[in-house]
Amino acid sequence: MDFDKVIDKRCSTRLFTDEIIDRKDLEAIVNAGTKAPVGKGLYANMAITVITNKEYIGEILEEAREVANNYKANPIYSAPYLIIVSAKKGHETRLEDTACIIENMSLKATDLDIGSCYIRGMFEKFDKKARFIEKLGVKEDFYPVHGLILGKTNEEIKGKKHHIDVNYID
């Protein structure tokens, strides 16, 4: 797909089917994330965990509900895939780097007609000692920063009208 078309089409998806994403496509999405810019080139300070196990995603959701004290909350919109971007403790540009990594993955998902949505708030509420962190397989001094949910959708993925004021100063 043409890059400008991908940019125009990208939007947050919050309604997913249980259809399986081809492993090759999932790997292409993650690979796009690994090519994102990272502050000072400290790529070793970042980690990506791809979760395809519905039970584990459910455990993370239950812990999120506990933390929020809202047992009906669904901050991951029942998505069948969850990608968590973690950073090394003390990594100064973790928020910016995570945003770049997730944006790259989101754009690649759009290119492949796979729905995605950046998940921030849920992870910001977790303590660095959250129960689910142990299972992520990241190094001990890493912790989750934000996530990306993925899945096939029955809705047509089409961009929304976006507007940000722009000023040119010549």
Q: Is 79 within the bounds of a domain?
A: yes
Residue 115 lies in a domain: yes
What pLDDT does 1 receive? 64
Residue numbers of the chain with a pLDDT score lower than 70: 1
Q: Are the CB atoms for 72 and 137 separated by under 8 Å? A: no
Which of 130, 160, 147, 167 lies closest to 76, judged by CA?
147
For the chain, how many structural domains are there in total? 1
Q: Which of helix, strand or coil describes residue 33?
A: helix
Q: Is residue 61 within 8 Å of 119, Cβ to Cβ?
A: no
- Cβ-based neighbour number of residue 49 at 10 Å: 18
Which pairing describes strands 46-51 and 142-151: parallel, antiparallel, or unpaired? Answer: unpaired
Q: Which two tokens stand for residue 48?
A: 């990506």
Residue 80 lies in a domain: yes
Domain holding 69: CATH number? 3.40.109.10
Identify the pLDDT of residue 160: 73
pLDDT of residue 112: 96
How far is residue 127 from each of residues 63, 130, 133, 158, measured CA to CA in Å?
11, 5, 10, 35
Q: Which residue has the tokens 């997913």?
A: 16
Structure tokens at 73: 């909350």
Q: Which of 44, 45, 25, 51 is nearest to 105 (CA)?
A: 25
Residue 10 lies in domain: 3-151
Residue 30 included in any domain: yes
